[in-house]
Amino acid sequence: MKRILLKSLVLSALLGWIVWEYATLPDVTPLKRRNPRLTALMELRDQEYRSQGLNPTRRQIWVSYDAVSEHARKAILLGEDAAFFSHRGVDLFELKEAVKADWERGQLKRGASTITMQLARNLYLSPSKDPLRKLREIAIALQLENALSKSRIFEIYLNVVEWGDGIYGIEAAARHYFSKSASELDPGEAATLAAFLPSPRNPSEKALLSRRNTILNRMAKVGHIGDTEFQRQSRKPLAYRGARSLEEPAELFPAHESSY
């Protein structure tokens, strides 16, 4: 009898927690027509700047989905979430594999985050790997998928994702690293930007080159580029404009001067 009572109390507490969590989820419906001016990640980076005695800097130039090179859209999908247009916010196979891998290692490392889940975290949450935060991320991702079209989710992601210190969105990234618009990126440049995403602030050049070529290989395998183009692009050395390779520091706009 005591065991039954304990189970009932646990289930009631769990149900209460789920109801409370659902009630406190953010309203994502304004994103149908309104571009977010600030994200949780931007706020976190601003705090990090201030803690170092620096003024927050942010460079962001909003562009539409169609104003991004098809090469860039394909490279990012193949690098981050190839099944994006077929799942409903959560890739159950990848999530299962991630849970299995983390269980075997005894630590939370494999993310299995879809583009929608990454966007949910970027907009509203912290980057921690706390399991409860992960559940909230999944819940918000499902909300986003229910409220917005796939192209709108991808458009917002392309415009708010981090591409370096103070650099947000693909247009700012394309101008910063390649001195051109996101609409003009070629396959190699697109794959390079996609390769930045797992570690945008402190990438290893060796890892960046390897990941760029992996993404180019995937682009070739799905027929987006031909074998000749793959060979040509993958043989190129990394060539991008970054603060480390310049005599002058990278240009950054003050946080309040983002362009929408």
pLDDT digits (tens, 9 = 90+) for 27-40: 999 999 999 999 99
For residue 248, the model assigns a pLDDT of 34
Residues 91-134: tens digit of each pLDDT = 776 555 544 554 445 444 545 699 999 999 999 998 877 788 88
Q: Which residue has the higher pLDDT, 148 or 255?
A: 148
**227-234 vs 187-196: helix crossing angle, rounded to 10:** 60
208 pLDDT exceeds 60?
yes
Q: Quick one: CA dihedral 154, 155, 158, 161, positive or negative?
A: negative
Which runs of consecutive H residues, i.e. helices, occur in 125-204? 131-147, 150-160, 170-178, 187-196
Residues 46-78: tens digit of each pLDDT = 999 999 999 988 999 999 999 999 999 999 999
pLDDT confidence bin for 4, thresholds 50/70/90: low
The mean pLDDT value of the chain amounts to 84
Cα 48 versus chain centre, distance:
19
Domain 38-45+57-257 fold: Penicillin binding protein transpeptidase fold (1.10.3810)
Residue spans of the domains in the chain: they are 38-45+57-257
86 pLDDT exceeds 80?
yes
Per the CB < 8 A criterion, the answer to whether 112 and 91 are in contact is: yes
Residue 203 vs residues 191, 193, 249: alpha-carbon distances, Å:
14, 11, 17
Q: Which residue has the higher pLDDT, 260 or 142?
A: 142
For residue 56, the model assigns a pLDDT of 87
Q: Which residue has the higher pLDDT, 187 or 126?
A: 187
